[in-house]
């Protein structure tokens, strides 16, 4: 390498090398004739970068200081002296920089990495994560994970709990998952995790989690008739059919809203939900009521969605205004998931076998070895589905001939 005195006047006179014959950039290294190990790298495109080079623990190490321009030769020389001094004691600046970067990983960086790693998360799950991390913990996003303490977690959990026990618990569960993810992803140079503990664990050890009882509300047999009559007064036919569809199928909201006509088979009298909570496709038979509903909707279909949005090209969103209207008209307070609970409760009251009920709800048989050898047959579910439909119709048709 040629030697020069790296100064402002001398560096300004350096002529960049010509590119290689194939057009690729060429580069030349100039060493400082006063400070051993200090130099500047010049490329054919005119870029010049300061560096230091020295053997550390038997290996040659080259560390870039920065580009000429933003950094003057004098500033680069001072930084070079500092780095060469560290390297003389066996410290590798590259490793040190990497260690500092790892130690400074923020909640935001870990959160983004977690979302990239968890491919296929459903929109509802992503929305929930966003509410927890970007909403409830938004002021922590740019804090290093290593700076988030057990005391901070405990205080924030208590603060969130003053408004909602469920949200406080859910937020900390998501945070716990992020810390567990980070402890596996981010390691120091010697392979040890940068996080030695999960600060959310304090909530378990101190028994600080809030007791949140699972919602058990549903439509009782006597509420079915006024609820149904109220839905018939809705101006939006799509919303009305959507509410009926959930009640008569027990599907989750997102499963029903994302149903498209390509998965409705009128010949076989079935419909398929390809994307479900447990990742397994869910095929159900049509009862007579569901067949009539779907055929009527198909005749006036203009979009791919069975229940399209009236304002966008996408599927119907949760019709909150309609839910409020039905509650006001019927005197029955309810949420969409209450309709699924109603379907389940009716099925159990009719003594539908557990295997058929689980298949209707698309629940997994996690502890049943025998179930793994049984191939689901949609036809076997047709009779139970029709029995549930008949029960609901019996309750809503009493002195009411409006049901089609």
Q: What gap in Å lies between CA 219 and CA 339, rounded to an integer? A: 7
Q: Spell out the alpha helix ranges (H) of 33-149.
A: 73-88, 93-103, 107-117, 123-129
* Res. 403: pLDDT tops 70: no
For 79-108, the pLDDT digits (tens) are 999 888 888 887 777 766 776 777 788 999
Average pLDDT over residues 105-112: 93
Cα-based distances in Å from 127 to 115, 121, 131, 134: 12, 10, 6, 10
Whole-prediction pTM: 0.59
For residue 23, name the pLDDT band (cuts at 50, 70, 90): confident
For residue 12, name the pLDDT band (cuts at 50, 70, 90): confident
Residue in 288, 284, 306 with CA at minimum distance from that of residue 362: 284
> What's the pLDDT score for residue 214?
61
Taking each helix axis from N to C end, the angle separating 237-249 and 288-299, rounded to the nearest 10 degrees, works out to 150
* Token pair for 194: 């940068």
Q: Which residue has the tokens 């295997």?
A: 355
**CA dihedral angle for residue 67, residue 73, residue 77, residue 78, rounded to 10 degrees:** -90
* Domain ranges across the chain: 3-94, 107-205, 221-397
CATH of domain 221-397: 1.10.443.10
Contacts of 29 (CB under 8 A, 6+ apart): 1, 39, 40, 41, 42, 51
Please give the CATH topology (third level) of the domain spanning 107-205. DNA polymerase; domain 1 (1.10.150)
> What's the pLDDT score for residue 305?
96
Contacts of 237 (CB under 8 A, 6+ apart): none
Q: Give the pairing of strands 270-273 and 282-285.
A: antiparallel
Q: What percent of the chain has pLDDT over 70?
A: 92
> What's the pLDDT score for residue 404?
46
Q: What gap in Å lies between CA 160 and CA 157, rounded to an integer? A: 5
For 335-359, the pLDDT digits (tens) are 999 999 999 999 999 999 888 999 9
Q: What gap in Å lies between CA 197 and CA 202, rounded to an integer? A: 10
For 204-239, the pLDDT digits (tens) are 999 999 987 766 689 999 999 999 999 999 999 999
> What's the pLDDT score for residue 370?
44
For 390-400, the pLDDT digits (tens) are 999 999 987 54
**What is the residue-averaged pLDDT of the chain?**
88
Q: Which of helix, strand or coil describes residue 296?
A: helix
Q: Is 269 exposed, middle or buried (0-12, 13-18, 19+ CB in 10 A)?
A: middle
For 232-269, the pLDDT digits (tens) are 999 999 999 999 999 999 999 999 999 999 999 999 99
* Res. 365: pLDDT tops 80: no
Q: Which of helix, strand or coil describes residue 395?
A: helix
Buried b (16+ CB within 10 A) or exposed e, 67-106: ebeebebeebbebbeebbebbeeeebbeeeeeeeebeebb
Quote the CATH superfamily of domain 3-94.
Integrase, DNA-binding domain (3.30.160.390)
> What's the pLDDT score for residue 372?
46
Average pLDDT over residues 305-318: 92
> Given phi > 0 = left and psi -120 to 50 = alpha, else beta, which region is 383?
alpha
């Amino acid at each position: 390498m040629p030697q020069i005195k790296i100064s402002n006047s001398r560096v300004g006179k350096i002529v960049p090398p010509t590119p290689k014959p194939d057009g690729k950039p060429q580069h030349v290294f100039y060493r400082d004739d006063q400070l051993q190990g200090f130099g500047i790298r010049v490329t054919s495109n005119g870029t010049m970068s300061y560096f230091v080079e020295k053997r550390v623990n038997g290996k040659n190490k080259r560390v870039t200081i920065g580009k000429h321009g933003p950094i003057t030769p004098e500033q680069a020389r001072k930084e070079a002296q500092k780095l060469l001094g560290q390297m003389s004691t066996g410290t590798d600046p590259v490793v040190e920089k990497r260690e500092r970067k790892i130690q400074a990983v923020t909640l935001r960086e870990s959160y983004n990495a977690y979302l990239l790693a968890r491919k296929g998360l459903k929109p509802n799950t992503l929305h929930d994560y966003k509410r927890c991390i970007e909403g409830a913990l938004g002021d922590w996003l740019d804090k290093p994970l290593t700076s988030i303490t057990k005391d901070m977690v405990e205080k924030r959990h208590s603060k969130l709990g003053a408004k909602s026990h469920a949200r406080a618990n859910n937020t900390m569960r998501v945070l716990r998952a992020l810390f567990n993810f980070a402890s596996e992803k981010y390691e120091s140079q010697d392979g040890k995790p940068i996080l030695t503990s999960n600060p959310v664990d304090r909530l378990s050890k101190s028994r600080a989690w809030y007791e949140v009882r699972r919602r058990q509300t549903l439509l009782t047999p006597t509420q079915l008739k006024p609820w149904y009559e109220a839905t018939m007064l809705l101006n939006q036919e799509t919303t009305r059919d959507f509410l009926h569809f959930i009640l008569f199928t027990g599907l989750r909201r997102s499963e029903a809203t994302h149903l498209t006509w390509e998965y409705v088979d009128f010949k076989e009298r079935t419909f398929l939900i390809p994307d479900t909570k447990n990742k397994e496709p869910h095929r159900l038979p049509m009862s007579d009521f569901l067949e009539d509903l779907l055929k009527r909707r198909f005749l006036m279909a203009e979009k791919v969605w069975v229940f399209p949005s009236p304002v966008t090209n996408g599927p119907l969103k949760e019709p909150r205004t309609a839910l409020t209207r039905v509650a006001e008209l019927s005197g029955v307070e309810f949420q969409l998931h209450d309709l699924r609970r109603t379907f389940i409760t009716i099925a159990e009251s009719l003594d539908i076998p557990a295997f058929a009920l689980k298949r209707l709800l698309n629940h997994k048989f996690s502890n049943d070895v025998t179930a793994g050898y049984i191939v689901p047959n949609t036809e076997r579910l047709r009779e139970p589905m029709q029995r549930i439909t008949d029960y609901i119709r019996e309750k809503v048709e009493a002195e009411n001939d409006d049901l089609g």
